[in-house]
Amino acid sequence: MKRNCLILTVAVLVYALLLQSVCQEEAVLASESETAVKPSKPVISASLGITSPQKQESAKAETPPPAKEPAPKITFEKVVHDFGITLEKVVHDFGEVGPRTQNICEFEFTNAGDSLLEITKVSKTCGCTPFTLEKNEYAPGESGALKVKYNAGGFGGPVNRRLFVYSNDKERPKVTLTIKAKIVLKVDHEPKKLSLSFKEESAGCPEITLSSIDGKPFAIKDFKSTGNSITADYDSSVEATKFVLRPKVDTEKLRKRLNGRISIGLTHPECDNVSIPFSTLARFETKPPTIVVYKVKSQEPITKEVWILSNYDEDFEVESALSRKGIIKVLSQEKIGNRYKFELQMTPPATEGKKKPFTDLFLVNIKGGEQLEISCRGFYLRKTKESQVDKS
């Protein structure tokens, strides 16, 4: 009896295990079936309600891109890239040129766009002048050329000049054109500049040596100087590769124009002129050289101190001092060694309405004929709106 009960119990347990296994398999199959038939999440359209993903992708593919508006596009040749960087520069390099020579180049361009190109302006810079531009409007695909004239200066060394081309190209409304050159002096000169002094005979002006660098002979056509204060003897019929000139200085003329330039005309085929600057140390110096005052009021005096100095440490006498407009008055004058000290009083003149700056000139006459000038300028105090309101 007990044996039959045991067999029955085992059978019940086996049946329960089998039933549980079948239920789990059915649950898995049901889950997979739901996943397979579950619809995608609907997409809400503003105008059509619920739309399937397939229809949405199709609608996107069928929408044409916005049409691009026709536009001009200016492109230049002679474009260089700096070290592979995308920044472009339009450059023409003349290489070596002679001083004071005229050099012409062309910047060729094309309208690479699909609309009319209009060049509105070509700017000028020092030494460069837009030479020729046939017209200002260019059709799509049409090309043109801007001819530019570069006038080389009289000094040697590298040169960079820029021009600017303005057009209706919205992406590049302003294009920079660069002109490069190296000015080579075919005739060298020594010294490069002259420093003159009244302490020495003929203002201490040294000899000037002219030498042909390329070995081509030349002659001297003319010799000029600022104020005609420096001259030299020469024979214009003589040709050579080297000249030594001994300048003569008129010190009275030099006092009137202390600084200037010597210009020597030559017949060299690649150098028609040599220019040498000169400067002269003045006998006297004023400190300060000018007087400027700010925030002054009408009729309220201002006191300033001025010194007259000798650059050559020489004794001198002040003969007289005066104000050209009467705004400046000398309060005191004192000689200290080889210097003079002035105490000046400036009285801003009375003004009506808009107050413009006032000016005057203080003149100091040195015994012997030389006159020194000290310019004076004053700016009135501007009234603020608050002060004008309070006054009213």
Nearest of 227, 72, 211 to residue 144 by alpha carbon: 72
In a domain, 107, yes or no: yes
Q: Please tell me the total count of domains within the chain.
A: 3
Domain carrying residue 375 = 284-380
Cβ 133 vs Cβ 177: under 8 Å:
no
Cβ 355 vs Cβ 380: under 8 Å:
yes
pTM given for the model:
0.59
In a domain, 203, yes or no: yes
pLDDT tens profile 293-349: 999 999 999 999 999 999 999 999 999 999 999 999 999 999 999 899 999 999 999
CATH number, domain of 146, equals 2.60.40.10
Residue 29: pLDDT band with limits 50, 70, 90: very low
Return the pLDDT at 250: 96
Rg of the chain (C-alpha set):
45
CATH number, domain of 322, equals 2.60.40.4140
pLDDT tens profile 240-253: 999 999 999 999 99
The two structure tokens encoding residue 144: 């043109």
Residues 178 and 245 in one domain: no
The dihedral over CA atoms of 54, 57, 63, 67, expressed in degrees to the nearest 10, equals: -170
In a domain, 386, yes or no: no
Residues 167 and 213 in one domain: no
10-19 contact pairs (CB < 8 A, 24+): none
Query: What's the mean pLDDT in 69-83?
Result: 78
Q: Which of 160, 183, 206 finishes a domain?
A: 183
Residues 272 and 312 in one domain: no
In a domain, 264, yes or no: yes
pLDDT tens profile 294-304: 999 999 999 99
Q: Which of 232, 251, 281 finishes a domain?
A: 281
Return the pLDDT at 354: 62
Residue 262: pLDDT band with limits 50, 70, 90: very high
Other CB atoms within 10 A of residue 4 CB: 8
pLDDT tens profile 206-236: 999 999 999 999 999 999 999 999 999 999 9
pLDDT tens profile 122-181: 987 777 777 789 899 999 999 999 999 999 887 788 999 999 999 999 999 999 999 999
Geometric angle at alpha carbon 339, from 337 and 342, rounded to 5°: 125
Residues 292 and 373 in one domain: yes
